[in-house]
Amino acid sequence: MLPATLPEAALSERHIRILDAAERVFARAGFHAATMQDVAAEAGMSPGNLYRYFNSKDAIIAGMSERDRSLIAEDFGSLCPDNGALLDQLEELGRKHLVRQPREKAVIAVQIWAEAARNPEMASMCADIEGTVVQGLAAAISEAKRNGELPPRLDEHRFLLAISMMADGYFCRRAMDPNFDDAAAADTLFTGMRQLAQTMLLPETETQP
Angle subtended at Cα 75 by Cα 16 and Cα 207, rounded to the nearest 5 degrees: 140
Whether the pLDDT of residue 47 is over 50: the answer is yes
User: CATH number of the domain at 8-55, out of 1.10.510.10, 1.20.1250.20, 1.10.10.60, 3.40.30.10?
Assistant: 1.10.10.60
Nearest Cα residue to 94 out of 192, 181, 200: 192
Q: What is the pLDDT of residues 170-208, one digit of tens each?
A: 999 999 999 999 999 999 999 999 999 999 999 987 555
pLDDT of residue 6: 44
Q: What's the rounded Cα separation, in Å, for the pair 84 and 91?
A: 12
Q: Based on C-alpha coordinates, what's the Rg of the chain?
A: 19
Q: Sorting pLDDT into bands at 50, 70 and 90, what band is 23?
A: very high
Q: Which residue spans of the chain are classified as CATH 1.10.357?
A: 65-199
pLDDT of residue 191: 97
Q: Which residue spans of the chain are classified as CATH 1.10.10.60?
A: 8-55
Contact 47, 40 (CB under 8 A): yes
Nearest Cα residue to 101 out of 4, 11, 167: 167
Q: What is the pLDDT of residues 110-143, one digit of tens each?
A: 998 998 999 898 899 899 889 888 888 998 999 9
CATH number of 65-199: 1.10.357
Whether the pLDDT of residue 86 is over 90: the answer is yes
pLDDT of residue 4: 37
